[in-house]
Amino acid sequence: MIRGKDLKYSAVTQHILLNVRHTFNVAAQDKIEEIRQRLAKGPSFQDFVQNSDLPKEEWKEYGGDLRRQKGENERLRLPPWLKTAIPMGKNFAKIKNQLQELKLATVCEEARCPNIGECWGGGEHGTQTATIMLMGDTCTRGCRFCSVKTARNPQPLDPLEPTNTAKAIASWGLDYIVLTSVDRDDLSDGGSQHIAETVKEIKLRNPNIFVECLVPDFRGELSCVKTIATSGLDVYAHNIETVEKLTPYVRDRRANYRQTLHVLKEAKRFNKNLITKSSIMLGLGETDEEVEQTMQDLREAGVECLTLGQYMQPTKRHLKVIEYVTPEKFKQWEDRGNMLGFLYTASGPLVRSSYKAGEFFITSILKERK
């Protein structure tokens, strides 16, 4: 039996213990939050690991499944030709740090591009490139292959972004810059004026840099297309992404296969000196005949440069890979693109729309034209 004095002592003890626990929990939570913030602002895992060249298997001897059968839910194992070295190097770190300081986004990071180390670091061609994503990191559309965040009403545009972007690019000493953007259907002009202003700011600081704009379809509004095409850029890019049959399944419902072709054709009409460019992802279930037709449609629309690359599922909530296309098959598509008359066809498992080797080639063409 607990006496009154003991009961009072027990109550005081419990009160003290509760206060201690509460204080400890609050302090622990504060410390955890502090660590989270430091981790968010600090170096990523990529900054600590060192580059290593993994021994490559003979591709022809790879025994894994390359195509997911109908009804299968398991993700396909990544074949050896899609495994890349972890990005590193002085120029890579320099660009990464300055992007964080100026609060600029790149599609290289947001879309988890496997070629980020090669492009930011200069690679074998010596042409350093980067792809800046304008108008924020949140898109108004929700394509089923893309890992960029989506929302109906993203944050307002940053009026300083064109100037900050131009300053950063000037300090990097790049030869070729790609400006891309999220879709901004919430804006009356889709953000076309904002992109055009950025191009002008970049050219003002470095008239010799080559600027490619990988832009949305602007809902097919030709006034927006004209704003971009006449802004002073060198390459007008807009991706068709996939074949016509798969477009409603792969892309946002507001995107349209025929609209994409029309936008590319009209961009060339507004500025005949432009190089026009588009990209196709393979591995989503398309047939060879459908890929062939898409390539022909792009040529008929006046597109001069084409890239073909492997679709890679960015997260579990995105479309699964139906097939991993072999490097040999990609080479066949490259040969076919050249036969169809494309000025340049970059085709390979790791090729992306903003692809380093392609930009090196386009840079050479633009220099010859000037």
| Residue 143 among known ligand-binding residues | yes
- Asked if residues 276 and 268 have their Cβ atoms less than 8 Å apart, the reply is yes
Q: Which phi and psi angles does 181 have, rounded to 5°?
A: -160, 160
Per the annotation, does 224 bind a ligand? no
Any idea what the Cα angle at residue 31 is, between residues 29 and 32, rounded to 5°? 65
Residue 213 assigned to a binding site: no
For 7, other C-beta atoms within 10 Å of its C-beta total 11
Residue 305, marked binder: no
The answer to the question of whether 119 is labelled as a binding residue is yes
Hey, what are 142's tokens? 């929700």
Which residue has 């993700």 as its token pair?
Answer: 75
Residues belonging to the binding site are: 108, 113, 119, 139, 143, 146, 354
Known binding-site positions for [4Fe-4S] cluster: 108, 113, 119, 139, 143, 146, 354
